[in-house]
Structure 1
Amino acid sequence: MRDVQKWDTGLRRLVRRYREPVVVQSLRSATAATIAYVLAVRLSPEPAPLTAPLTALLVVQVTLYASLTNGIRRVNSVVAGVLVAIAFSLLVGLTWWSLALLIVAALGVGHLVRVDEYVAEVAISAMLVLGVTAHGFTAWARIVETLIGAVVGMGINLLLPPPVWVDQAGESIEDLARRVRQLMLRMGEEAAGGIPWQRAAERLHEARRLDNAVTEVDAALRQAEESLRLNPRVKDSLLHRVVLRTGLDTVEICTVVLRVLARSFTDLAKASGPEQLFPPRVGETVQQLLSEIADAIVSFAVLVTTDLSASAESAEERLTAELHTAAGTRDRLAQLFLEEIRADATNWQLMGAVLTEVNRIIDELDTEHRSRRLLEELDRVARDQRTARPWVARLRERLGVQERLWRNRTGLGGRSW
């Protein structure tokens, strides 16, 4: 029985390892490059058509949208470079000064045709074609190989569709929320006792380092957003993208406010000197409030990354209850702060700042605030799409896509958000 359990555990680890972006990308790229080379050997006049597998490597990306856009830009860059080289070969030939003009002209053309990161590819293609005697032969071979690599790269994405990286992005958002929770719990424990200002300053530095974590989560979310675009397996991809993006925005705002809160604690610790950061009764209330808010942040992250409606409803009920409890504790803390200020108004500004900061986090996590934020973002995206691509908006209206999106967004109280 133990051997079976070990084998099952190892198999699960292997499956998880297979879904990692690096492993998926390596397998798909190697497959595409090999197929492209085999086809190019048969179709290209070149004896070693390495441009085809190189193009396939560059075209095959983790997401379908990235593969499609990279394939189009790659083909455009090669064709543009070949045309520039043919024009120069007919006019001036190859000299040191014509090579310099060729590079400048090719780079300029690359920016004009908007091939983005493949601007250098325009100049490379132009130099390779201009540097050989049989211009037509080399130009044709390079175009054929590039087309083969691009077609194979995009075909691999259709035959072996890339995964949707929403789960990974959701896990990263939850991990960030748990890191925020751990920091808030430590700050609450230290607020209940006397701590030197150096210890409070360490918590401030930890809060500042959360910015790096937010950047990493943002990168994972961008990958998830790209995997949803042009993906036939995902319905209402716009809604998914907006839900995750606005969820990360809320968690990021909480990290910013937490950094300000840590700064207020540091200033209070400096002003208190060797005394306790807060009186015993106030410190216990601060600890309780930070603990309740920390739990609410995690519940919020779970809610915005939950797909099943039943689980989402449970997460929403839990979040609502935690916010209600935190609001009651906040009101009690406000009364205690008022009593302390009446007795000694020395640090009334810092106490008021602490109350303002915890209140801001509670407001950001509020479900009604979240629903309004989602509706505003959906409206903004819809306006931008109609302005940038009116023909796409008309097509979506004819296909009924916009109507379905509006029907889904009316249920934002359940799983729609």
Structure 2
Amino acid sequence: MRLVREWTSPLARLMRRYRDPVVVQALRSAAAASIAYVVALRLSPESAPLTAPLTALLVVQVTLYATLTNGIRRVNAVVAGVLVAIAFSQLVGLTWWSLALLIVASLAVGHLVRVDEYVPEVAISAMLVLGVTTVGDTAWARVVETLIGAVVGLGCNLLLPPPVWVDEAGESIEELARRLRQLMLRMGEEAAGRTPVEQATQRLYEARRLDHDIVEVDADLRQAEESLRLNPRVREGLLHRVVLRTGLDTLEICTVVLRVLARTFTDLTKEREPEPLFAPATGAAVEQLLSEIADAVVSFAVLVTSPASTSAESAESRLAAELRQAATTRDKLAQLLLEEVQRDARTWQLHGAVLTEVNRIIDEMDTEHRSRRLFEELDRNARVQRERMPRLTRLREGLRGSKLRRRNSGRKVENAD
């Protein structure tokens, strides 16, 4: 059995690599460009119709949802850029000054044809195409090649849906959770001892840098959301989008609260220097609580990114147990902080802030709170869809009602028999 696993492991790695979204996207692009080139060889008088595969390569980069919603504008931008490049190749060719005029003209044409956010793509397409059109014989051949490339690119997006980027977005969310965990662990260790002001300030800067990580994760999540929309290979795409989006929102709130907690620790260090941040017993409770919350953050990320229901149930059970333990430690910390305030009331506001902030993080990851947010977000998406497409909504409700009436009539016939 071990020998069989050794033989099959390279094949398994190859299959995993083949299903990688980056590899799938590369294969789609190569296939679209090759098909466009073969078609252009038969329809274009040029001996090397490279404009067709180049246009297909530009068009096939968009997702299926973008193809059906913004694809027309993007294709218009590509076609407009190609036409501008064809005109320049026929008139002046490629020089440094013609390149500058080409960019200005392309941007102006992009605004004229109303391609909105794809205006820069007009200039990009024009510059790319100009390199292969400097020796063209006739402009209409390039127009034909451009249309062939556009049609092939759109066809590939419809027949070969783009890859789904959910796994990559899930990995980004889990990586963000692990960074949060590492920062919490460091803050807990330092809270249990004597922390210099410079060290506490450094943790505050680290918490602020997490905002940049959230921006990157949000970009990955937007890409995943777009790849899920109108993709025939995905079932329950709306549910996947809502689960990932609400999960990232929760982690973002936790990041903001952690930054506030780091600010509180910094202020507390300034107030109590050269004394320790907390009494020994209180510091140990803070360290234990932040360690338990850090583990819960990672479990929460695993929960929102788990594709299988069994994995999600296991992650949810683990998260619930960790949150219960954190709540117990929080109550213990609250009692210890109360005793400290009774002994020395100088920093009671900061002690109260510490308790409030850790309590907010625990509440944000609570399973009941998460379920409530999921239902609210699903209801909001359904309401937006009804308002945006009322006719389609009425058609769906009519079909659903007719199915229900047929099912009820069938049951009445069976009962009568």
Both structures adopt the same fold (TM-score exceeding 0.5): yes
Map 1:91-240; keep pairs closer than 5 Å: 106-111=109-114, 117-120=120-123, 138-139=139-140, 141-240=141-240
- Separation of aligned partners in 1, 2:341 and 2:19: 56
* CA separation of 1:396 and 1:145: change in aligned 2, threshold 3 A: farther
CA distance in 2, matches of 1:78, 1:63: 16
State the alpha-carbon separation in 1 of the partners of residues 81 and 168 from structure 2.
Answer: 39
2:320 corresponds in structure 1 to 320
Q: Structure 1 residues 260 and 381 mapped into 2: Cα distance closer, same or farther (>3 Å)?
A: same
Q: Aligned partners of 1:322, 1:173: CA distance in 2, in Å? A: 19
CA contact (8 A) 1:59 1:70 kept: no
Matched ranges for 1:14-413 at <5 A? 14-61=14-61, 63-69=63-69, 71-77=71-77, 106-111=109-114, 117-120=120-123, 138-139=139-140, 141-398=141-398, 400=400
Counterpart residue type for residue 44 of structure 1: S
- Is this contact kept in 1: 2:82–2:146, CA < 8 A? no
One-letter amino acid matched to 2:381: V
Q: Say which SS state the counterpart of residue 227 (structure 1) adopts.
A: helix
Q: Give distance in 2, aligned partners of 1:303 and 1:364.
A: 14
Q: Distance in 2 between matches of 1:203 and 1:23?
A: 39
Aligned letter for 2:218? D
Q: How many residues align?
A: 387
Q: CA RMSD in A?
A: 3.6
Change (3 A) 1:162 1:7: farther
Give, in whole Å, the separation in 2 of the partners of 1:205 and 1:12. Answer: 43
SS of the residue 2:114 aligns to: helix
Q: Distance in 2 between matches of 1:22 and 1:147?
A: 27
Q: Which moved more, 1:47-56 or 1:169-178?
A: 47-56
Change (3 A) 1:82 1:168: closer
Deviation at 1:8, TM superposition (A): 5.1
The letter of the residue matching 2:172 is S
Aligned-pair distance for 1:26? 2.7
**8 Å contact kept, 1:80–1:109:** no
Is the Cα–Cα contact under 8 Å of residues 110 and 119 in structure 2 kept in the other structure? no
User: Helix, strand or coil: the match of 1:230?
Assistant: coil
Return closer, same or farther for 1:194/1:115 CA change in 2, 3 Å cut-off.
Answer: closer
Q: TM-score, normalised by structure 1?
A: 0.80
Tell me the residue number matched to 1:410: none
What is the TM-score normalised by the length of structure 2? Answer: 0.80
Q: Distance in 2 between matches of 1:133 and 1:370?
A: 61
SS in 2 for 1:332: helix
Unaligned runs of 5+ in 2: 86-97, 404-417
* 1:231 Cα offset (Å): 0.8
- After superposition, the Cα gap between the structure-2 partners of 1:100 and 1:200, relative to the gap in structure 1 and judged at 3 Å, is closer
Of 204-213 and 68-77, deviating more is: 68-77
Q: CA deviation at 1:240?
A: 1.1
**Aligned residues of 2:172 and 2:220 also touching (Cα < 8 A):** yes
Q: How far does residue 53 in structure 1 lie from its aligned partner after superposition?
A: 0.9
1:40 deviates by 0.8
Task: Say if 2:77 and 2:119, in contact at 8 Å, map to a contact too.
Answer: no
